[in-house]
Amino acid sequence: MGRDKELGPSQDYGRIEYAYHLMARDAGIDTRQAGWMDDPRCESNWTALIVYRSVGGAPGAQSSIVMEATVDLTVATTGAVSGAAAGRAVVTASVPPPCTVTFDPAVAPVRVGGRLQGDTFDLLVSWDALTTTGTSRCQLPFGEVVTPVPIPWPAFTGIPVRVVARGGEQGTDPGGSVTVTLLNRR
């Protein structure tokens, strides 16, 4: 890296990189501010895995729910992010013997909104309420008792999740219940 009569002296970059920077600047692209997107004026599409985990229940019995959705995210030319999908929920429960509980899978819509600025996705994740039906089976001295168990799970809206794409491509909300993993850019 030395002096070139057309490009001048180089810095911490090669002459070719500098030439590309000059061409991009002349085309109206600020390569220092573009961040993760190739060109902030272009729409881009991503695929993200959204996972919600919650644990609750009464003393002596514990239940948990895991909801997963693969969401196609669209990043508009303004940096606005949007996406929606149907999320699959799996509920588990542990109860004291002599009973067991099993649940049918359920589905609820998930929505993602927010902004992409540079390399950072500032997302808001929302999931609709759902009710899943379980079956309680208790082996009692006089025989088995089978009871349907409807479990309502409340909706959550606007859970903030920050994903720094160059910092691992995964982010979790401050409460630790929602994780967003960027799977790929399309």
**Closest Cα to residue 106, out of 52, 161, 46, 160?**
52
CB 130 within 8 A of CB 89: yes
pLDDT greater than 70 at residue 90: yes
**Number of folded domains in the chain?**
2
pLDDT greater than 60 at residue 42: no
Least confident segment among 2-11, 62-71, 122-131, 135-144: 2-11
Domain range enclosing 19: 1-32
120 is written with which tokens? 């950072």
pLDDT greater than 50 at residue 141: yes
Beta bridge partners of 147: 136
pLDDT at 98: 86
- Same structural domain for residues 93 and 166? yes
What is the radius of gyration, based on Cα positions, of the chain?
25
- Residue that wins the pLDDT comparison between 82 and 40: 82
What is the average pLDDT across 32-59?
68
What does the alpha-carbon distance between residue 30 and residue 120 come to, in Å, rounded to a whole number? 17
pLDDT greater than 90 at residue 50: yes
Least confident segment among 30-39, 136-145, 158-167: 30-39
Helical segments of 58-150, H only: none
- Same structural domain for residues 143 and 171? yes
- Same structural domain for residues 95 and 146? yes
- Same structural domain for residues 81 and 127? yes
State the distance between the two ends of the chain, measured CA to CA, in whole angstroms: 36
- Same structural domain for residues 103 and 140? yes
Mean pLDDT, all residues of the chain: 81
What are the angstrom distances between the C-alpha of 94 and each of 68, 98, 137, 142, 154?
21, 11, 12, 23, 20
- Residue that wins the pLDDT comparison between 43 and 130: 130
33 is written with which tokens? 């501010």
Q: How confident is the model at residue 12 (pLDDT cuts 50, 70, 90)?
A: low
- Same structural domain for residues 108 and 133? yes
The model carries a pTM of: 0.69
